[in-house]
Homo-oligomer: A and B are copies of this chain.
Amino acid sequence: MKTYKVNEFIMRYSIGNPFATEVVVNKGEEINRKDIDYFQIDEKKGFRFSHKMDPRDIVWGLGENQRGMNKRGGIYISYCTDDSQHTPDKKSLYGAHNFLIVDGEVKFGVFVDYPSKVTFDIGFTHSDVLDIVIDGEDFDLYIVEGVSLKEITGQFLNMIGEGYAPPKWAFGYQQSRWSYKNAEEIEKIVDSFLHYDIPCDTVYLDIDYMERFKDFTIDEESFPHIEGFVKRIKNKGFRLIPIIDAGVKIEKDYDIYEEGIANDHFCVNEEGKPFVAAVWPGRVHFPDFLRPETRKWFGLKYSRLIDWGIEGFWNDMNEPAIFYSNKGLQKAVEKAKASENENLDIYSYFELRDTFVGLLNKLEDHKDFYHRVEGKLVRHDLLHNLYGYNMTRAAAEGFEEIQPNKRFLLFSRASYVGGHRYGGIWTGDNHSWWQHLLLNIKMMVSLNMCGFLYSGADTGGFSGDVNAQLMIRWMQFSLFTPLFRNHSAMGTRRQEPFAFDEGTLHILRNTIRIRYALIPYIYSEYMKALIHKNVYIASLAFEYDDTRSRTVEDQLLIGDSLMIAPIYEENAVGRYIWLPEDMLLWKAEDYRNRSYEIYKKGNIYLEVDIQEIPIFVRKNKIVLLGKHGSSVENLCHDELEAIAFVDDKAAYVYYDDDGTTKNYKNKKYNEVFIEIEKVKNDFEITITNRGNDTLKKINFEILDIQGNVNKKTVEVS
Q: Which residues of A contact B (CB under 8 A)?
A: 56, 58, 67-68, 70, 72-74, 85, 87-89, 123-124, 126-127, 213, 278-283, 323-324, 329, 332-333, 336-337, 339-340, 343-346, 349-350, 352-353, 355-357, 359-360, 431-435, 463-465, 467-470, 501, 503-504, 547-548, 551, 553, 569-574, 576, 578, 603-605
Give Cα A543–Cα B79 distance, bound, in whole angstroms: 51
Give Cα A553–Cα B464 distance, bound, in whole angstroms: 24
A282-B346, A349-B278 known; A127 and B467 CB under 8 Å? yes
Q: Which 3 A-B pairs have the closest CB atoms?
A: A336-B336, A356-B356, A576-B576
Q: Which residue on chain B has the smallest CB distance to residue A335? A: B336
A470 & B73 in contact (Cβ 8 Å cutoff): yes
A282 & B501 in contact (Cβ 8 Å cutoff): no
CB contacts (< 8 Å) of A340 on chain B: these are 333, 337
B281 & A346 in contact (Cβ 8 Å cutoff): yes
Instruction: For the complex formed, measure the closest distance between the CB of A371 and the CB atoms of chain B, giving whole angstroms.
Output: 25
CB contacts (< 8 Å) of A124 on chain B: these are 465, 467
A282 & B344 in contact (Cβ 8 Å cutoff): yes
**11 pairs of residues in contact across A and B, judged by CB atoms under 8 Å:** A68-B569, A70-B571, A73-B570, A282-B343, A336-B356, A353-B359, A356-B356, A357-B357, A547-B573, A551-B571, A551-B574
A126-B501, A333-B336 known; A88 and B433 CB under 8 Å? yes
CB contacts (< 8 Å) of A504 on chain B: these are 127
Instruction: For the complex formed, measure the closest distance between the CB of A31 and the CB atoms of chain B, giving whole angstroms.
Output: 37
CB contacts (< 8 Å) of A573 on chain B: these are 56, 547, 551
B89 & A469 in contact (Cβ 8 Å cutoff): no
A346 & B70 in contact (Cβ 8 Å cutoff): no
Q: Which residue on chain B has the smallest CB distance to residue A359? A: B353
A127-B467, A280-B346 known; A333 and B323 CB under 8 Å? no
Give Cα A576–Cα B576 distance, bound, in whole angstroms: 7
Give Cα A435–Cα B604 distance, bound, in whole angstroms: 24
A349 & B323 in contact (Cβ 8 Å cutoff): yes
CB contacts (< 8 Å) of A87 on chain B: these are 85, 87, 431, 433
CB contacts (< 8 Å) of A323 on chain B: these are 346, 349-350
CB contacts (< 8 Å) of A126 on chain B: these are 501
Q: Which residue on chain B has the smallest CB distance to residue A548? A: B605
- Selected contact of A435 from candidates B345, B435, B501, CB within 8 Å: B435
Q: Could you list 19 further interchain pairs (A-B, Cβ under 8 angstroms) beyond the known A127-B468, A127-B501?
A: A67-B570, A68-B570, A68-B571, A72-B571, A73-B570, A74-B570, A87-B87, A88-B433, A88-B435, A89-B431, A89-B432, A123-B467, A213-B346, A278-B346, A280-B346, A282-B343, A282-B345, A551-B573, A603-B604
